[in-house]
Amino acid sequence: MDDTSAAPAPAARGQTTLPRELGLWSAVAVVVGSTIGSGIFRTPASVTNRLPGPLPLLAVWVAGGLLALCGALTLAEVAGAFPDTGGIFVFIHKAYGRLAAFLFGWSELTIIRAASLGAVSTTFAEYFMRVLGFNPALEPNATYVHYIAALAIVVTATFNYVGMRTGSFVQNVTTLAKYFGLVFIVVLAIAIGLPRTGGHFTPAAPPGSFSVAPFGLALVSVLWAYDGWADLTFVSGEVKDPRRNLPRALIIGTCAVIGIYLLANVAYLSVLPVEQVRTSPLVAADVAARLAGAAGVAFVSITVMLSTFGTLNGSILTSPRVFFAMADEGLLFRKLASIHPRFQSPYLAIALTAALGVLFVLLRTFEQLADTFVTAILPFYALGVASIFIFRRRASRGGTDYSPPFRTPLYPLTPILFVLATLYLLVNALIDPSSRVPTIGVFVVILVGVPVYFATVARRRG
């Protein structure tokens, strides 16, 4: 990874500009490390519960990857034009105004970030227990999982509290470890498992393979695994040479994730039939057990631990910058925009993020956390991507200084596909009886932010 050893200029008291310390490859590590976490190791089970055969299973991972790439290609343009701390928050603020930006920050504060941290840290804790030889599904181990997950959040928050250099170093190391750990699993499965089994790719498309509603729900689960591709934008204000490095890092990182995810699913099906993947919440470990016994399980468990720990670190490295940017704009307590005089980090925003994550992980299960997170983040991803239409229209009328260093390929098709797919997923979640009530609950929490805004932020401005 790139050298980030150049010392930043000291921050004066009250300064709200964070030092730029992330180079290109550290930025790529943020994208890859924030994305590859628990999803690729446990999402295949929930996907196969909804889709019956190999072809639809692989198709839904391709669809999720293309959606992520459409989003990344669009935000590569917008982030290059507005390389400011806060990322999507900034884009929404500039495109739609203070209320929309506040609702994104409110949702991050009350639902999105804490649910994400809780889901990732829970998977870390489960694999940690497994490495120690305990079954995380049995009591009292299942209770201990919550406490281990909470401790992991505190540890990664501490790394990032003491500065971007420390947080970035942890991110670089864990990203390399997890990516090449996944590559090793893929090579082992295809080289050893495939010759033994011949693979489990037939029948490719059993009856019911492409039913619209199940495919949409499976796609929501897949998008959980792909989430993280936009997190780099939150630290745009800390990327070196951002007009050059932000677009490159977003595209390189997203493509690297899509490639390894597709290969991982091929590897799983090379060893296990669909029916076994469906009942395997820790599928990578079961694949390794089939191929290499106890040693394989230990290797995969350690890989998943590093993977989820790195994702947890990436989330705490990036997401507090949303609260920092909110506070800097007067949409949250101003004190949260403070920069530590020694560590040059948004230390109070990091502490707040960690506290919310600990609270959620002590009270909720993985499934509750993951589903809540995906439903809550999708509308704001759509708004962030759709902001490109507003910025380009304003620029065409001479009303703004919008000069991105990178232009989204196949515009306007690329952002339109992303926005339409997002709307489809949200409508599908509202129609399906199994997800309707939780989805409505998430929307209610988001909309509660409207009266909160007028009772607090709008009143202060008035």
Q: Does position 111 have pLDDT exceeding 70, yes or no?
A: yes
Highest mean pLDDT among 149-163, 283-297, 347-361: 149-163
Tokens, residue 226: 């792909």
Range scoring the smallest mean pLDDT among 135-149, 281-295, 321-335: 281-295
The C-alpha atoms of residue 313 and residue 425 are separated, in whole angstroms, by: 28
Residue 9 within any structural domain of the chain: no
What is the pLDDT at residue 2? 41
The CATH number linked to 330 is 1.20.1740.10
Q: Does position 224 have pLDDT exceeding 90, yes or no?
A: no
User: C-alpha angle with apex 118: 29 to 107, nearest 5 degrees?
Assistant: 90
**CB half-sphere exposure, 30, CA atoms < 13 A:** 31
Residue 202 within any structural domain of the chain: yes
Q: Which of 9, 10, 91, 163 is nearest to 402 (CA)?
A: 91
Report CA torsion sign: 156, 160, 164, 165: negative
Residue 18 within any structural domain of the chain: no
Domain total of the chain: 1
Tokens, residue 385: 């991507």
Residue 198: band (very low, low, confident or very high) from pLDDT cuts 50, 70, 90? confident
What is the pLDDT at residue 366? 60
What is the pLDDT at residue 179? 92
* 48, 274 contact by CB (below 8 A): yes
Q: What percent of the chain has pLDDT over 70?
A: 93
* 32, 175 contact by CB (below 8 A): yes
Average the pLDDT over 6-34 and give the result.
72
Which residues pair with residue 356 across a beta bridge? none
Count CB atoms within 10 A of the CB of residue 437.
10
What is the pLDDT at residue 128? 87
What is the pLDDT at residue 437? 84
395-430 pLDDT tens trace:
988 777 789 999 999 999 999 999 998 888 888 788
Average the pLDDT over 331-345 and give the result.
89
Tokens 């560590």, residue? Answer: 343
Q: What is the pTM of this model?
A: 0.88
Residue 285 within any structural domain of the chain: yes
Residue 291 within any structural domain of the chain: yes
Q: Does position 7 have pLDDT exceeding 60, yes or no?
A: no
Q: Which of 69, 12, 94 is nearest to 338 (CA)?
A: 12
What is the pLDDT at residue 82? 94
Which residues pair with residue 22 across a beta bridge? 239
Exposed / middle / buried, residue 115 (Cβ in 10 Å: 0-12, 13-18, 19+):
buried
- Domain region containing 427: 24-461
Average the pLDDT over 7-29 and give the result.
68
What's at 226, amino acid-wise?
Y
Question: Which DSSP letter does residue 37 get?
Answer: S
Q: What are residue 140's phi and psi, to 5 degrees?
A: -85, 5
The C-alpha atoms of residue 65 and residue 15 are separated, in whole angstroms, by: 39
Count CB atoms within 10 A of the CB of residue 387.
24
Q: Does position 4 have pLDDT exceeding 70, yes or no?
A: no
Residue 443 within any structural domain of the chain: yes
What is the pLDDT at residue 368? 58
Q: Does position 338 have pLDDT exceeding 70, yes or no?
A: yes
Q: How far is CA 233 from CA 64, 94, 160, 317, 331, in A?
A: 20, 15, 17, 12, 19
Residue 197: band (very low, low, confident or very high) from pLDDT cuts 50, 70, 90? confident
DSSP per position, 154-209: HHHHHHHHT-HHHHHHHHHHHHHHHHHHHHHHHHHIIIIIHHHH--S--SSS-TTT
Q: How far is CA 324 from CA 334, 452, 460, in A?
A: 9, 19, 19
What is the pLDDT at residue 9? 37
| Distance of alpha carbon 443 from the chain centroid | 20
What is the pLDDT at residue 321? 93
Residue 317: band (very low, low, confident or very high) from pLDDT cuts 50, 70, 90? very high
Residues 6 or more apart whose Cβ sits within 8 Å of residue 316: 117, 153, 156, 157, 159, 160, 167, 350, 353, 354, 357
* 118, 360 contact by CB (below 8 A): yes
Residue 305 within any structural domain of the chain: yes
Residues 6 or more apart whose Cβ sits within 8 Å of residue 380: 88, 92, 103, 104, 107, 112
Residue 428 within any structural domain of the chain: yes
| Higher pLDDT pick, 139 / 413 | 413
